[in-house]
């Protein structure tokens, strides 16, 4: 397993990622002052973001079902736990976007190669244990 995002396991096959990037930072409020550069006041941490990029080969390895699951997770708007393959809990994240680009289309309109990019933003914990159970039930049934 490379990553686990909610109920979606991301491994070498059928659903994989070959690249991950992330960003952390700080937010500042700029103050207008005459005659000098605008001083900035630290207001807290900026959003922590991650982007996972992968490539699917649905006719050789599969992955379409997992892609549909990922898109359903994104549409739900529910926070998902992100765990790296070495067991590191990377916290709760919202799926901001799932981008797909299909190339080398087969006769049925499905790409023989599908580029997938998942954009995540860190999120606080879900509101309650009941919402966690609801999330789990939505993933498995």
Give the pLDDT confidence score for residue 92 in this predicted structure. Answer: 94
Give the pLDDT confidence score for residue 44 in this predicted structure. Answer: 92
Statement: residue 128 has pLDDT above 80: no
Statement: residue 136 has pLDDT above 80: no
Mean of per-residue pLDDT scores for the chain: 90
Q: Contact at 8 Å (CB) between 139 and 65?
A: no
pTM, two decimals, is 0.81
For 51, counting Cβ atoms within 10 Å of its Cβ (0-12 exposed, 13-18 middle, 19+ buried), the class is middle
pLDDT tens sequence across 24-76: 999 999 999 998 999 999 999 999 999 999 999 999 999 999 999 999 999 99
pLDDT tens sequence across 10-26: 998 899 999 999 999 99
């Amino acid at each position: 397993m490379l990553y686990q995002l909610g109920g979606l396991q991301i491994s070498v096959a059928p659903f994989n990622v070959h690249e991950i990037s992330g960003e952390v930072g700080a937010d500042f409020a700029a103050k207008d002052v005459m005659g000098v550069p605008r001083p900035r006041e630290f207001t807290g941490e900026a959003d922590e973001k991650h982007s996972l990029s992968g490539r699917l080969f649905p006719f050789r390895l599969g992955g379409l079902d997992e892609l549909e699951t990922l898109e359903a997770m994104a549409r739900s708007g529910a926070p998902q736990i992100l765990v790296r393959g070495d067991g590191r809990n990377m916290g709760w994240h919202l799926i901001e976007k799932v981008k797909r680009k299909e190339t080398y289309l087969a006769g049925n309109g499905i790409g023989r190669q599908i580029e997938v990019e998942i954009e995540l933003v860190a999120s606080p914990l879900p509101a309650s244990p009941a919402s966690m159970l609801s999330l789990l039930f939505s993933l498995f049934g």
